[in-house]
Amino acid sequence: MLALAFSPLSWQLFYETRLFPATSLVVLALLLLGNRGLVVGVVGSVVAMLQWHQPLMLVVGLAELLWLKLYLDHVGPASQRRDNGWIVLADILFWVLFGVPLAFLLFGVVMNLDPASVLNLAIRQGINGSINAIFGFFIYISLRLLRCGGRTGRPVSIRGVTLIALLIAIVLPAAALLSLQSWQRQQFSGQVELERLRLSALTIAALEPRSIPALMARQRQHGSLLELRLLRGDQILLDSNPGLFRTLESYYISQPPSGDGRLILPRSLDLIVPQALQGRPRAALRGYWRYRSALDLHPEHNGLASLPTGWQLLVVEPARSGIQELEQQSAQAQGILSWIVLLGALLAESGARAIAAQFPAADPDRPAAADPTGADPPVRLDARRRPRSRLRELDRLLRALRREQHKRLDLRQQLRRSESERNNLQEEVSTLSIRDPLTGCYNKAELYRRLDLEVKRSYREQRQLSLQWLEIDHLRPLHDSCGSSVAEEVLRRVAAELLRRTRSTDLVCRVAEDQFAVLLPSCEAGSAQRVADLLRDTVARLEIQRQGIEVAVTLSVGLTALRRGQDDIESLINRAENALYRAKAEGRNRVVLI
């Protein structure tokens, strides 16, 4: 879409040489979008074909697109291909090796144009493609520099920034000066032609009308190609070449002085070209200069009394010689600019390489290999591999920067270790605040928190909720008779079975020395009773031995389910505890549902 939007934009460099910035979006799209930029590249090639009015331009544009894509995929380190500026050099190299010869072959052999036209067209394409590659990469680097200040932006390469800065500093002023010189030459040539035709018109206007044909005959004998027509309104009074003027009126059209910007002409001077050749290369060679003078001059102003007022004189002359001179001037400017682009690319690459060499090749911010112990190893540059600057002041600056980098890296590593230790401590504190250290189950505070959430969710989503209150039978007498280590082993084994036999969405909590609570979301009372029976049977079959003592363990379980519209947290817990007390009163090792 941008290529189509920018397609009408162009800047005139020289006569018959225009710069179309829409093709710079091809390079920009490849750099920003990667493979998706190929679509923009194809659109840009079609736009270039339409702008140059040459269908074969599509072949050259697609060849350039393929060349640049191959470069981005295969040349140089993958991390540096996009921002080191070599894509500009690759595009210039394409036009030198393939683009200009391919255009010369296509337009010269296939279209059978004359060699001068083909060479001019090929060189113009090369200049246009090279300068647009510079513009495209400049826009890309500018976008990267604007984004690199954010958290997601990556820094750009000093090599790419230096390369594009040097290229712009070399090419753009040269192109502007050559364009200004070409514009001045066009102005001068057009003014000279206008004055010559104007003087001819004034000379003819000073003659008697009957003597004008004799004058024109003598001029033809001397090789003059100027023709004239004398008009009074729409009536033709005198026509030196009726067939020529009829042809000009029927098949020629005035080339706009600023419509496509091909030629800058002074006022009162027109360049008319064959309508069938309008917009084609070198069409002006078959054109004519046209000057129209109103002969309403009074004797007291100019001494010319031979022609009455209201008459007009139309003068035409072939434009070939003047256009050939302009083409020669434009070809010289194109050649100079081509050499400036080539030499500028070499100088910019040499300068970018020299400046990039002043900075460390290794990246001190790149993390080193991970230490098996988990500690961050210190990052240091090998002293033998540290580049030294050729500039004394810059060398001192680099050494000072390296020292600051090492200090910064040491502080960063210390901050990382401190952050890691703080996170570990925070995790431990968080774990201890909600879990029982002996059994790994959640504690009573976490039960209240989760129970509040689940009760509200059950009311909101109309789901079932059950709560089990479990007690290990006779754990306190076992602690008194066998010791704390045996009691702790019993607690750990029972807790492990509870965690293993419940769902991942269930919550197992240790709420007292010998009591556990199991919260069962989305579980109705019947299912919760089957789970409780399974837990009771599993614990009853445990074989627990500690210090040569074999212990038999049973569970008493109190069970209740949420009653919508009646229960809150306290009432639900109280009913579960009452169910547990009833199970103990009825003989233990049983499940009671209330």
Share the mean pLDDT of the chain.
79
- On whether both 296 and 209 belong to a single domain, the answer is yes
Among 41-45, 167-171, 534-538, which is the least confidently predicted range? 41-45
Which ranges of 435-507 would DSSP assign to H, the alpha helix? 444-461, 475-482, 484-501
Which ranges of 206-298 would DSSP assign to H, the alpha helix?
A: 212-221, 242-251
| Parallel/antiparallel/unpaired status of strands 507-510 and 515-521 | antiparallel
448 and 423 assigned to the same domain: no
Max mean pLDDT range (130-139, 222-231, 397-406, 561-570):
130-139
pLDDT at site 320: 87
Residue 270's pLDDT is: 86
pLDDT for the residue numbered 373: 42
- Same-domain pairing of 395 and 514: no
Residue 152 Cα distances to 79, 82, 149, 405, angstroms: 16, 17, 8, 22
Contact 231, 308 (CB under 8 A): no
State residue 229's pLDDT score. Answer: 83
Residue 62 lies in a domain: no
Work out how many domains the chain is built from and give that number: 3
Residues 516 and 555 in one domain: yes
- Quick one: pLDDT at residue 215? 67
Domain that holds residue 211: 185-328
Integer angstrom CA distances of residue 291 from 205, 284, 294, 336: 14, 16, 10, 34
Residues 404 and 455 in one domain: no
Residue where one domain finishes, among candidates 378, 398, 427: 427
Instruction: Name which residue leads in pLDDT, 225 or 258.
Output: 225
For 337-382, write each residue's pLDDT tens digit: 999 999 999 999 999 888 887 765 544 444 444 444 444 444 444 4
Q: Is residue 245 part of a domain?
A: yes
**Of 300, 328, 356, which closes a domain?**
328
Which of 31-40, 383-392, 533-542 is predicted with the least confidence, judged by mean pLDDT?
A: 383-392
Verify that 422 and 452 share a domain, yes or no: no
Co-location of 448 and 418 in the same domain: no
Query: Where does the pLDDT of residue 394 fall: very low under 50, low under 70, confident under 90, or very high at 90 and above?
Result: low
Q: Which two tokens stand for residue 594?
A: 């209330």
Residue type, 500: R
Domain boundary among 381, 398, 427: 427
The size of the chain, in residues, is: 594
Which CATH number goes with the domain that contains 493? 3.30.70.270
Residues 402 and 467 grouped into a single domain: no
Residue 315: strand pairing partners: 228, 291
Query: pLDDT at position 99, please?
Result: 85
Q: Are 264 and 182 in contact (CB under 8 A)?
A: no
Residue at 50 is within a domain: no
Q: Looking at the domain assignment, is residue 83 inside a domain?
A: no
Kindly state whether residue 98 falls inside one of the protein's structural domains.
Answer: no
Percentage, residues of the chain above pLDDT 70: 80
Out of 14-18, 49-53, 562-566, the most confident range is: 562-566
Residue labelled with tokens 């910007």: 261
Helix (H, G, I), strand (E, B) or coil at 593: strand
Question: Is residue 12 over pLDDT 90?
Answer: no
Q: Which residue has the higher pLDDT, 253 or 238?
A: 253
Q: Clarify whether residues 414 and 485 are in a common domain.
A: no
Read off the pLDDT of residues 98-131 as tens digits, 9 standing for 90 and up. 888 888 787 777 766 667 777 777 888 888 889 9
Higher local confidence (pLDDT), 99 or 385: 99
Whether 201 and 320 share a structural domain: yes
pLDDT digits (tens, 9 = 90+) for 440-497: 899 988 899 899 999 999 988 888 999 999 999 888 888 888 888 888 888 998 999 9
The backbone torsions φ and ψ at residue 560, rounded to the nearest 5 degrees and listed phi first, read: -150, 165
Domain-located, residue 257 = yes
pLDDT in tens, 313-344: 888 889 888 888 888 888 888 889 999 999 99
Asked whether the predicted pLDDT for residue 589 surpasses 70, the reply is: yes
DSSP 442: B
Does the pTM surpass 0.85? The reply is no
pLDDT tens digit string along 405-444?
888 888 888 888 888 888 877 777 766 678 888 888 999 8
Q: 587 and 448: one domain?
A: yes
pLDDT above 70: residue 211: no
pLDDT digits (tens, 9 = 90+) for 174-200: 999 998 888 888 888 888 888 888 887
pLDDT band at 558 (very low <50, low <70, confident <90, very high): very high
DSSP states of 171-215: HHHHHHHHHHHHHHHHHHHHHHHHHHHHHHHHHHHTS-GGGHHHH
- Residue 166, domain member (yes or no): no
272 forms beta bridges with 254, 288
211: CATH: 3.30.450
- Residue 541 forms part of a structural domain: yes
- Asked if 194 and 316 sit in the same domain, the reply is yes
| Per-residue pLDDT band at 221 (split at 50, 70, 90) | low
d(CA 16, CA 133): 21
